[in-house]
Amino acid sequence: MLNLKFSKLFAAAAALFCAGAAFAQDSGPLIDILVKKGLINDQEAEELRADLVKDFAANTSAGKLNLGSTLTELKISGDVRIRYEDRAGKLITGDHQERDRFRYRFRTSLTGKLLNSWAFGVRLETATGSRSSNVTMGDDAGPFAKTSDGVYVGQIYAQWTPTAEWTFTAGRMANPLVTTSMVWDADINPEGFAEQYRHRDGQNEFFATMGQFLYSTSGNQNVFGGTPTAPAGTKDLFLTAWQGGYKRYISGATTFFQVAPVVYAYYHSDQRANPAAFNAFMSATNAAPVNNLFVLEVPLEYSWVAKNGMPLRAFADVAVNFDAKQRATKFGRSDLDGEDKAFHVGFQYGKASLPGEWDARIIYQSVGAFALDANLVDSDLFDSRTNMKGWVVGANYAIGAATQFSLTLGQAERKNNSVIAPGSGDIGSNNALDKFWVLQADLNVKF
């Protein structure tokens, strides 16, 4: 048995080293199989990957690119999106505003794996906004100028995966939480630290994610020649997230149920006066403070395959702000303590992956005025606001393996007419917004 094991190991190693430069880039899955079979350990796998990369660099034209000795994998990916968008809104006075525009988005990522279970990632993207990478065509100071066409760092992080179950990330990262657009805009890349645990036992999978995100820095904790005027500049403002989840695989990888409750808490928000908007009480001119937010979110999902082979997905998200009564009181409307809840339900038919495939989805959402952080909610569908309810319908069609056409239509109205719609979106910052519509047609190309 021992001789057989060494024979298999020798044969596998010989195959890896003799397969040539073209195979060197694709050897990762085979190395993983060797580890799972117990033929090599994790350290030997890392060394084997490093040797393959060195062999690839030394014996191919790509060897002109000098890769670091600790680098085991390097990947470049990204996407380009061209969009036509039309937004419209109506105030409670009946006044109407509409804005249509052509936009583009470009994002490209460089990610790498290193020896000893380390990794890194950098993503460059267009636009400076936290909730959008879109650039509006023709908005520059002069015909075809490049005033707004800059490229910025959207993600930059270091990651350590000491075991198959634990992952630690620091920097500006993709959102590590299981969530929906009701609570988090998908374009937001939080800054700070995250710890993730995932364990699978048969058909059961358990996971947990902890996040400590730096929401806003306070600057100096003290200044020369005196002390700051309290409560300015005392401590940084943090948003923390604590999520635990369960996933039950019912049939293979395509039929499963998942639930992942998460609690959000803000630390030092009562000491922040710079920028004052984060600490001041909500008003018609300051609609996105973070005072009195202690939110529980519970996203759920059930995915399965129909008898005709079509993928199906039902999903929901509910949230409640346990400190909404105090938030409403500080706003001056203690009678609106019931505006503490938000929910989001949807259904998707199909999945546009291969050329010719398509999918369609429908979503209904309702968000109370004091339920969520208006700085984080999705910027597209309900114009970055709370106290809105409405419908979203959309569809995707896969033109090619890397190209999709998407169409999205959203319609929303104020949930409670006696209070403002907190937040500030692209249709305008007037918090007297009563109704909102959006139409988006996208051409997406991924590489």
My answer on whether 145 and 163 are in the same domain is yes
Q: What is the pLDDT of residue 29?
A: 75
Mean pLDDT throughout 198-205?
97
Q: Give the model confidence (pLDDT) of 90-127 as tens digits.
A: 998 889 999 999 999 999 999 999 999 999 999 999 99
User: What's the token pair of residue 83?
Assistant: 């969009």
My answer on whether 441 and 330 are in the same domain is yes
Alpha-carbon dihedral of residues 6, 7, 12, 15, nearest 10 degrees?
Answer: 140
My answer on whether 6 and 128 are in the same domain is no
Instruction: Read off the pTM.
Output: 0.83
pLDDT at 165 over 70: yes
DSSP 117: G
pLDDT band of residue 31 (cuts 50, 70, 90) is confident
Helix/strand/coil for 143:
coil
My answer on whether 109 and 23 are in the same domain is no
- Cβ distance 215 to 266 under 8 Å? yes
CA 252-255-260 angle, 5° bins = 115
Range with lowest mean pLDDT among 102-116, 151-165, 275-289, 326-340: 275-289
Q: What is the pLDDT of residue 270?
A: 64
Q: CA 404, CA 418: separation in Å to the nearest integer?
A: 42
- The strand pairing partners of 303, in sequence order, are 256, 313
Average confidence score pLDDT of the chain: 86
My answer on whether 433 and 382 are in the same domain is yes
Mean pLDDT throughout 379-387?
91
CATH number at residue 88: 2.40.160.10
Helix axes 2-18 and 42-59, enclosed angle (nearest 10): 30
My answer on whether 189 and 226 are in the same domain is yes
Q: CA 348, CA 313: separation in Å to the nearest integer?
A: 5
Q: CA 254, CA 313: separation in Å to the nearest integer?
A: 10
Nearest Cα residue to 125 out of 79, 61, 64: 79
Final residue of a structural domain among 69, 90, 111: 69
My answer on whether 126 and 90 are in the same domain is yes
pLDDT band of residue 27 (cuts 50, 70, 90) is low
DSSP 267: E
Pick the residue with more confidence: 62 or 287?
287
Q: 275: cis peptide before it, omega within 30°?
A: yes
* Burial class of residue 17 in the structure, from the number of CB atoms within 10 Å of its CB (0-12 exposed, 13-18 middle, 19+ buried): middle
**Tokens 């806003």 appear where?**
216
Number of separate helices (H) and strands (E) present in the chain:
5, 18
Q: What is the pLDDT of residue 198?
A: 98
Pick the residue with more confidence: 155 or 332?
155
pLDDT band of residue 177 (cuts 50, 70, 90) is very high
Q: What is the pLDDT of residue 5?
A: 43
My answer on whether 301 and 411 are in the same domain is yes
Range with lowest mean pLDDT among 163-167, 407-411, 430-434: 430-434
Mean pLDDT throughout 201-230?
82
Q: What is the pLDDT of residue 441?
A: 98
pLDDT at 395 over 80: yes
Final residue of a structural domain among 32, 47, 69: 69
Q: What is the pLDDT of residue 381?
A: 86
pLDDT at 183 over 50: yes
pLDDT at 273 over 50: no
Q: 231: cis peptide before it, omega within 30°?
A: yes
* Range(s) of the domain holding residue 52: 1-69
pLDDT at 245 over 90: yes
Q: What is the pLDDT of residue 20?
A: 42
Q: CA 151, CA 130: separation in Å to the nearest integer?
A: 14
Mean pLDDT throughout 400-413?
96
Percent of the chain with pLDDT over 70: 83
My answer on whether 44 and 94 are in the same domain is no
For 21, half-sphere exposure in the C-beta direction (CA atoms, 13 angstrom radius) is 10
pLDDT band of residue 174 (cuts 50, 70, 90) is very high
Range with lowest mean pLDDT among 34-43, 88-97, 266-275: 266-275
Q: CA 55, CA 76: separation in Å to the nearest integer?
A: 20
Q: What is the pLDDT of residue 271?
A: 53
pLDDT band of residue 258 (cuts 50, 70, 90) is very high
- Cβ distance 410 to 376 under 8 Å? no
Q: CA 443, CA 323: separation in Å to the nearest integer?
A: 42
Range with lowest mean pLDDT among 102-111, 155-164, 268-277, 289-298: 268-277
Final residue of a structural domain among 40, 69, 98: 69
My answer on whether 257 and 346 are in the same domain is yes
My answer on whether 82 and 57 are in the same domain is no
Query: What total of structural domains would you count in the chain?
Result: 2
pLDDT band of residue 12 (cuts 50, 70, 90) is very low
User: What's the token pair of residue 187?
Assistant: 């374009």
My answer on whether 173 and 157 are in the same domain is yes
Backbone angle region of 383, left / alpha / beta, with phi > 0 → left and psi within -120 to 50 → alpha: left
